[in-house]
Amino acid sequence: MAYQQAYSAYKETGVKTASQGKLIVMLYDEAVRQLAIAVTLFQNNDKVAPQNIEKLHNSIVKVQDIITELQVSLDMDKGGEIASNLMALYVFFNQQLLDANITQNKEKIISIKEMMVQLRDAWEQASEKATAAAPAPQMRSSIDING
């Protein structure tokens, strides 16, 4: 029990202190994880067992929620063509996931997962470059205790 509380506190601190780029990567990570879970719910015949239908639905809905969060985080004014292209991709992803949820289409889920992995990797690279390019915090050489 204490371990779980400590782990939850650690994760919460990680989210609260993460940069915007890192938060986006974290959203992608969770979306990819949920899509991987969804894929595992299919049997060898590419059908979902009745007891796993709700789990499949829940995983897909979580991904759709994440995509919606990514959509609202886009700055369409500053983002220009990149933001417009990402918005179009996110709309496409949500449409495909809606259809995959209704028809239980494993291939669509795999396809979206692969595209999201590519986007996640691109965001991670951009985030790392932005972090590396950010100026280092200025440290004072001495402490003035007089105020």
Give the CATH number of the domain where residue 75 resides.
1.20.120.340
Q: Is residue 29 part of a domain?
A: yes
Q: Is residue 86 part of a domain?
A: yes
pLDDT at 2: 62
The answer for residues whose C-beta is within 8 angstroms of residue 68's C-beta and 6 or more apart is 90, 94
pLDDT at 129: 84
Q: List pLDDT tens digits, range 48-82.
A: 999 999 999 999 999 999 999 999 999 999 999 99
Q: Whole domain around residue 24: which residue ranges?
A: 19-124
Q: Is residue 32 part of a domain?
A: yes
pLDDT at 14: 47
Q: Is residue 87 part of a domain?
A: yes
pTM above 0.75, yes or no: yes
Q: Is residue 13 part of a domain?
A: no
The answer for residues whose C-beta is within 8 angstroms of residue 56's C-beta and 6 or more apart is 38, 41, 48, 101, 104
